[in-house]
Amino acid sequence: MSPDHADPAPGTDTTSGAARAGTEPVRATVVAAFRLAGRAAPAQLTAAVVVAAVSAAAPAATAWLTRETVNGIVAGVGAGRLLALVGGLAVAGVAVGVLPHAATYARAELGRRSAVRALDELYRAVERQVGLRRFEDPPFLDRLRMAGSGGRAPGDLCGAVLNAGTGLLSAAGLVAALLLVSPLMTGIVLAAAVPVLGMELLLARQRAAVLWRMSPAARREFFFGQLLGHPVAAKEVRLFGLAGFLRERMLSEHRAIDVAQRRVDRRALATQGGLALLGAGVAGGGLIWAVFAARDGRLGVGDVTMFVVTVAGLQAALAGLVSSFAGAHASALLFAHHRTVLATAPDLPVPAAPQPVPALRRGIELRDVWFRYADDKPWVLRGVTFTIPHGLSVALAGHNGAGKTTIVKLLCRLYDPTRGSIRWDGVDLRQVPLDDLRRRIATVFQDYMEYDLTAAENVGLGDLAALSDRERITAAARLAGIDGVLAGLPRGYDTMLSQIFAVGDDPDDPETGAMLSGGQWQRVALARALMRGERDLLVLDEPTAGLDAEAEHEIHARLRAHRAGRTSLLISHRLGAVADADRIVVLRNGVVAEEGDHTELIAARGTYARLFALQASGYTRTGVEP
Ligand SMILES: Nc1ncnc2c1ncn2[C@@H]1O[C@H](COP(=O)(O)OP(=O)(O)OP(=O)(O)O)[C@@H](O)[C@H]1O
């Protein structure tokens, strides 16, 4: 298995710890980036390496050829040799002129292909997080954002390493050339480069640390900025006059990031300025030495020329080398986030010997289920036990925050119970393949999604295999009572349910997008769940909360017919809809407080009876009979 796909023990949390990005060994990260680039763009990587090697040899070759040419002129060598030397210089000149362009193209292509590969690997790794926990973990979200930023890190890293390699090789060639003239000056020029390299690496590390430290601020800045232009937020932003408030919040996060970055930039200015002065001093001193050495006859004219070319070339190569190292270091730290996301264990353990999930025959049993969202959060469920028998409808009732939606999330295995178990015909949900389990369940959540896609896609997403099966899509929409509305849209089911994206040939056509009302959206979400047809368990979490009374009555009647003989779980605060469930479970303080059918619970005169009477009195207060 490739190290990129190393699969740590399930449950291992590799995401926490702000400093982790800095602890990833840079060498391992560089190797991983080259492996990824090799898989994504082998030809471009090879071309980039060859171009880098040839570019590396060019400066030293130019310096040597210059020296030989000048000395040859002084010594009066034959025309043939002079022509060969000048020809060599011309070739080197052409190489120096053309190769950077070839290198730029190869690198850009390498970067593009590596980015596609990196993003693919990254989001496949995100897909392995099958539950919800990671998406509620701020460090994971920060890491994902940094790793995702366009997928550029591996291409940038390879480019910077190749630049560093080119710089290193050309510096080595120039060092060899300079050694011929003066070992002492060679030592001085090299020694002057060491502090520059050290400082640049330190600065790169500091820049990466700032980036990581400020990532929560960057995420908040993005959030506030988004709200300012978000069509859904626009209503409240305008009505409550929030624009100024949000803009100020956004700018204050932006300013906080600027302050941290400015601090590093100032440090960079001071150190880089000082070090540049040092380099200029070394070059100037060396030139004085060379001129006087030539006057005293210790150096030839060609040697002086080569010395000048070489010192300038070496300093430029070292400066390039230093900035490439720094760039490589910064990209490596960024790419480390990518590797950490890839190495993050799935948030839910994968069963070692999974058991099949056959069609439900007996029922689903919650057995002493305890749950809290985190160790430092309060218990939501404190030993919940009840059964959803096969073929029957069960309703969950209880006050806001009683834990009803939490039970739905546990049933879909978006989390595992902290204690106790949920059993599908006696088999613990933790023992079955998650995809198989989810294929057997159809759920509408109360916070359903509104996708900026066409009407047909919004419904068809409920069963991807049937995304282009218009008959099934319209049947599901009919069952949810939204078929007429969708068919009547400007482009029927092909109308985009969005005003952000347009569809079709003419994006300026105002008829390409349509907006639905809240209740209509709710019906679309219901249709999406109903696309899943004959699933073993139908879960409806407040499926009609946004509907008008008549629509609600009609939808419940349809759903009642649809649920008949099917296993279902219904959550609704409208107890009129709950009343005809085969069994009603009332949650209070994290436990099952009451259980029975409507008649039994009314007779028991508990919470259910009280809430039911309260709602019923609201409806009968006017004395108007339905
Ligand atoms: N992702 C989460 N992280 C932390 N706490 C959460 C999370 N989701 C829900 N909670 C908490 O768990 C408790 C139960 O929430 P849940 O959504 O299950 O209630 P509910 O019975 O469905 O409420 P409602 O009737 O308002 O929909 C609440 O106190 C809520 O604050």
Whether residue 196 sits in one domain with residue 59: yes
Q: Which of 314, 343, 372 is the endpoint of a domain? A: 343
Ligand 1 atom 18: residue of nearest CA = 403
Q: Say which residue, 190 or 128, is predicted with more confidence.
A: 128
Residue with tokens 């599901």: 476
| Alpha carbon of 379 to ligand 1 centroid (Å) | 11
Q: How many domains does the chain have?
A: 3
Whether residue 112 sits in one domain with residue 226: yes
Predicted confidence (pLDDT) at residue 569 exceeds the cutoff of 70: yes
Instruction: Give the model's pLDDT for residue 208.
Output: 77
pTM of the predicted model over 0.90:
no
Q: Which of 279, 308, 343 is the endpoint of a domain? A: 343
Q: Give the pLDDT band (50/70/90) at residue 613.
A: confident
Ligand 1 atom 16: residue of nearest CA = 403
Contact 556, 568 (CB under 8 A): no
Question: Lowest-confidence range among 43-47, 232-236, 418-422?
Answer: 232-236
Predicted confidence (pLDDT) at residue 216 exceeds the cutoff of 50: yes
154 assigned to some structural domain = yes
Mutation test of ligand 1: which of 380, 412, 570 has the most ligand atoms closer than 8 Å to its C-beta?
A: 380
Which atom of ligand 1 lies at the shortest distance from residue 398's CA? 21
Portion of the chain with pLDDT greater than 70, in percent: 91
CATH code of 504's domain: 3.40.50.300
Q: Say which residue, 135 or 271, is predicted with more confidence.
A: 135
Structural domain boundaries, residue 146: 19-343
Whether residue 244 sits in one domain with residue 144: yes
Instruction: Give the model's pLDDT for residue 518.
Output: 84
Predicted confidence (pLDDT) at residue 138 exceeds the cutoff of 80: yes
Q: Give the pLDDT band (50/70/90) at residue 23.
A: very low
Burial call 236-258: b when 16+ CB within 10 Å, e when fewer: ebeeeeeeeebeebbeebbeebe
Contacts of 564 (CB under 8 A, 6+ apart): none
Whether residue 26 sits in one domain with residue 163: yes
Q: Give the pLDDT band (50/70/90) at residue 508.
A: low
Ligand 1 atom 31: residue of nearest CA = 401
Ligand 1 touching residue 136 (CB < 6 A): yes
User: How far is CA 240 from each of CA 199, 226, 245, 535, rounded to the nearest angstrom?
Assistant: 50, 17, 10, 44
Ligand 1 touching residue 379 (CB < 6 A): no
Residue with tokens 């596609």: 116
558 assigned to some structural domain = no
User: How far is CA 21 from each of CA 13, 17, 26, 33, 262, rounded to the nearest angstrom?
Assistant: 14, 9, 10, 15, 21
Question: Lowest-confidence range among 8-17, 102-111, 531-540?
Answer: 8-17
97 assigned to some structural domain = yes
Residue 574 phi, psi (nearest 5)? -80, 100
Closest of 591, 536, 97 to residue 358, by C-alpha = 536
235 assigned to some structural domain = yes
DSSP string, 542-592: STTTTS-HHHHHHHHHHHHHHHTTSEEEEE-S-HHHHTTSSEEEEEETTEE
The two tokens of residue 42 are: 């082998």
CATH code of 66's domain: 1.20.1560.10
Whether residue 330 sits in one domain with residue 369: no
Whether residue 541 sits in one domain with residue 530: no
349 assigned to some structural domain = no
419 assigned to some structural domain = yes
| Alpha carbon of 590 to ligand 1 centroid (Å) | 11
| Alpha carbon of 418 to ligand 1 centroid (Å) | 15
Whether residue 372 sits in one domain with residue 312: no
Whether residue 386 sits in one domain with residue 339: no
Ligand 1 atom 7: residue of nearest CA = 373
CA 472 to chain centre: 34
Question: Can you tell me the mean pLDDT for 527-546?
Answer: 84
204 assigned to some structural domain = yes
Ligand 1 atom 2: residue of nearest CA = 373
Ligand 1 atom 24: residue of nearest CA = 400
Question: Lowest-confidence range among 3-7, 105-109, 295-299?
Answer: 3-7
348 assigned to some structural domain = no
Whether residue 388 sits in one domain with residue 291: no
Q: Say which residue, 327 or 157, is predicted with more confidence.
A: 157
Mutation test of ligand 1: which of 405, 570, 575 has the most ligand atoms closer than 8 Å to its C-beta?
A: 405
Question: Lowest-confidence range among 306-310, 456-460, 479-483?
Answer: 306-310
Whether residue 258 sits in one domain with residue 214: yes
Q: Which of 343, 378, 402 is the endpoint of a domain? A: 343
Mutation test of ligand 1: which of 373, 376, 446, 544 has the most ligand atoms closer than 8 Å to its C-beta?
A: 373
Closest of 139, 122, 165, 163 to residue 14, by C-alpha = 139
Predicted confidence (pLDDT) at residue 69 exceeds the cutoff of 70: yes
The model's pLDDT over 159-171, given as tens digits with 9 standing for 90+, comes to 888 888 887 887 7
Which atom of ligand 1 lies at the shortest distance from residue 399's CA? 25
Predicted confidence (pLDDT) at residue 394 exceeds the cutoff of 90: yes
Average pLDDT over the chain, rounded to whole?
83
The two tokens of residue 400 are: 């806001």
Instruction: Give the model's pLDDT for residue 440.
Output: 92
Whether residue 84 sits in one domain with residue 215: yes
Whether residue 85 sits in one domain with residue 74: yes
Measured CA to CA, the distance from residue 400 to residue 504 in angstroms comes to 44
Q: Give the pLDDT band (50/70/90) at residue 499.
A: low
CA 289 to chain centre: 57
Instruction: Give the model's pLDDT for residue 121.
Output: 92
